[in-house]
Every structure is written in C-alpha cells, then in structure tokens.
Amino acid sequence: MSSDNEVRYLSSHEWGRIDEDGILTVGISEHAQDLLGDIVFVELPDVGDMLEAEGESAIVESVKAASDVYSPLTGEVVEINEKLLDEPEIINNSPLEDGWFFKIKIDNDLQFADLLTEEEYNDTCED
C-alpha cells in the first residue's frame, strides 16, 4: 500500500486514502482507536457489497463500546482486511497502515476532495 497518498477523514473518525486506480482504502483514525481502547472484534462488509457515502459499513467492538464504521465515499467493496478478524489488536497498534478495514472502488473521485483534510479533522477532535 502506498502511504504517500493523501489521507482524508470523516468527522465520525474514519479515514480514506485514494490511489491512482480510484481505489479507496478505509480505516479508523488514531484518535478513534484511542477513544475505543482495546478492540476485540470487528465485523467487515463482504467483497462485492455496495457501500454508500457515510453509510454503515463495518462494526468495531472494543471492551468499552461497540461502534459503527461509516464509509467515507460510495463504492463497491473490492478487498477486506481479513487479518483483522483474528487479530483485531492490529487496529490499535497501526490504525492508519496495517489496521485498514476494506477497500472500495469509488464511483466518483471528485468527492474525495470534499472529505476533511487531516488538519480539519484534527480540529473537530479538539472540540
């Protein structure tokens, strides 16, 4: 995965990173994993599922709380990170890299620019 591409956020703590082929990798933010604490289970979408922008896409369950994960953009799931099913702690240890949830082929990459920049997202976390 190329980590150099820009990462954008939803205020509900998901991030998306777009590559040249219009594939968006999605995960949850460092701040979100910190709020959740130890993550013990994750429910991922199936490959082929159509996800909607800001629609429910996954569930992450920590000892503390269950939390819905929303897809930043609309698109079809092309890959899921199955490693998380057995080792959900990867999300705590590496939320922005190894702890990615799924990848979607997005319909319209222009919408990516509407997502929050890292700076804008960080500002929402401080409120």
Partner 1 sequence: MVDFHGWDMPINYGSQIEEHHAVRQGCGIFDVSHMTILDFEGSESELFVRKLIANDVRKLSENYSGLYSAMLNDKGYVIDDLIAYRMDKGFRLVVNCATRGEDLKWISARAKEYDVNMIEREDLSMVAIQGPQSPSVLKNFPAPIDFLKEKKRQQGIFQDDIFAAKTGYTGELGFEVILPNEKAIDLWNIAISEGAKPIGLAARDTLRLEAGMNLYGFEMDETISPFECNMGWTVCWQDDQRDFFGKESLIKQKESNDLKELVGIITDEKVILRQGQKIHLEEENHARGIVTSGTYSPSLKKPIALARLPKSESTSCFAEIRGKRVKAKIGSPKFIKEGKLIFKEKV
Q: Which uninterrupted H or E stretch holds 85?
A: helix 83-86
Distance CA 111, CA 127 (A): 25
* 94 forms part of the interface with partner 1 (CB under 8 A): no
Q: How far apart are CA 16 and CA 29, in angstroms?
A: 10
For residue 78, CA distances in Å to 8, 57, 105, 116 come to 19, 13, 6, 24
In whole angstroms, the minimum distance from the beta carbon of 50 to partner 1 comes to 21
Segment 32-91, which members bind partner 1 (CB under 8 A)? Answer: 37-38, 40-41, 43, 61, 63-64, 66, 85
- Measured CA to CA, the distance from residue 92 to residue 69 in angstroms comes to 15
**Pick 80 or 106: Cβ nearer partner 1:** 80
Please state the closest distance from residue 42 (CB atom) to partner 1, in A.
Answer: 8
Instruction: Quote the least distance from Cβ 31 to partner 1, whole Å.
Output: 16
- Which residue intervals of 45-105 are DSSP H helices? 83-86, 89-93
Q: Which lies closer to partner 1 via its Cβ, residue 16 or residue 95?
A: 95
Minimum separation from the CB atom of position 63 to partner 1 (A) = 5
Classify 121 as helix, strand or coil: helix
The residues of the shown chain that bind partner 1, judged by CB under 8 A, are 37-38, 40-41, 43, 61, 63-64, 66, 85, 92
